[in-house]
Amino acid sequence: MNNKIGNEQVFTIEVGLTVALFPGLINTLILNISKNASLISLLIGIIIGFIPIFMIAKISKRIENQSLKEYIIQKYKIPGKIINIVLILVALFILFINSWLTIDFIISQFLTRTSYYFIGITFFIIIAWIINKEIETTSRTIFILFWITIIIMIGLWLTLIPYINLDNLKPYIDVSKEKILKSSIIYLTYTTLPIIYILDLKHITNNKKVFEKKIISAYIFSSIILFIFLFLIISVYTIDIATILTYPVYSLFKKVQILGFIERIENFAAIQIVVAFFIQATYLLYYLRENLLKIKLTKNKLKIGTYILSIIIPIVSIVIFKNYNLINIINISPYVLTTLFIIIIVLFIKKRDQIPLITLIIKLLNIMKIIIK
């Protein structure tokens, strides 16, 4: 089997990594913190996000025929092993959030009497089965689901045009600048920084020359999608209603009928949300398979190990988030995760390029200190 993937598939995986947590969590946080200024907060997060994106693209130029793990170990030896452990732990953390949001969304909206464990384990076992077919099959599955979802999404957007009221966007700024910046950092952490994991695909892409361009274009594409969704949520619902909705992206389409009789088209929006969760979970589980399990396991045991990991992840996520409020964890974690990713990315950059980057990072850290106060 050809174990190579195209840059178009890399593009779809990166978009999935970027948008996955937005409809289930990040948009709700931004709306509740920044209110009508959410669009401004999102724009700031997108603009700041170009800093790590260009840094990741720069790192990509130094990775050719190695996995991300191999490159880090070769460059940093023992500290490289620590960096890889940090990346694995962060991937697990994101997967725990992804798993909980997927389970909670499916049960709260559709299967209210179904076991959390049944939904979570079933969802992740399906992912493990796809991953065990190797990266070519995995990336093709993601690619097909992605473009089906995009077509559905554009169709749903068109149905909302008659419901848009630009007056709902006013006042444009109704909260403090600290709250706007806090939302921007939350957005940056959970939509932009996970893109670093896409570097693990470069050594198996067909055309490495355009890999960096795909990283940047996928980020721009994702940012446009998320901005449009947030614009629609506020302009259609008003901020007062939007802040009390558990899943604003899903609820956005509840009032819409097509041709006056086709109802419940919000179920098409549900497909988008689940596919977004699926793409991120699939790739991060693949990353863990390649960088955690593959080190010690033979090919046959690797498949079994992937299934075992796919069972452990939803179980742990349910145990954690049934006992601890996800929002409280999210309010703290952006500062920790952003700092870790910044340190890792700076280590990758050559010394002559580090001074201007460090200056930018110091400015970002100063912003974080203001927010924390």
Q: What is the pLDDT of residues 81-112, one digit of tens each?
A: 888 888 888 899 889 988 998 898 888 877 77
* Greater model confidence, 135 or 309: 309
Please list the residues that pair with 5 across neighbouring strands.
Answer: 205
Report the first-to-last Cα separation within the chain, whole angstroms: 55
14-37: pLDDT as tens digits: 999 898 888 878 888 888 888 888
pTM for this structure?
0.84
Q: Judge whether residue 211 has pLDDT over 60.
A: yes
pLDDT, position 260? 46
pLDDT confidence of residue 95: 92
76-80 contacts at long range (C-beta below 8 A, 24 or more positions apart): 76/347, 79/347
> Diameter of the chain by CA atoms?
64
* CA atoms of 311 and 313, how far apart (whole Å): 6
Q: Write down the pLDDT at residue 340.
A: 66
pLDDT for the residue numbered 255: 64
Q: Pick the residue with more confidence: 348 or 91?
A: 91
Sign of CA pseudo-dihedral 234, 240, 241, 242: positive
- Phi, psi (5° rounding) for residue 258? -100, 125
Helix (H, G, I), strand (E, B) or coil at 258: strand
Q: What are phi and psi of 262, to 5 degrees?
A: -85, 110
Q: How far is CA 59 from the centre of its chain?
A: 20
Query: Scanning the structure block, which residue is given the tokens 């079994």?
Result: 304
pLDDT the model gives residue 281 = 92
> Mean pLDDT highest for which of 70-79, 192-201, 212-221?
212-221
Residue 152: C-alpha distances to residues 55, 267, 269, 270 (Å): 33, 11, 8, 11
Token pair, residue 105, equals 């969304």
pLDDT over threshold 60, residue 364: no
Report whether pLDDT(368) > 60: no
Q: What is the predicted pLDDT for the residue at 269?
A: 74
Residue 182: pLDDT above 50? yes
Comparing 66-70, 294-298, 331-335, the range with the smallest average pLDDT is: 331-335
Give the architecture (CATH level 2) of 7-372. Up-down Bundle (1.20)
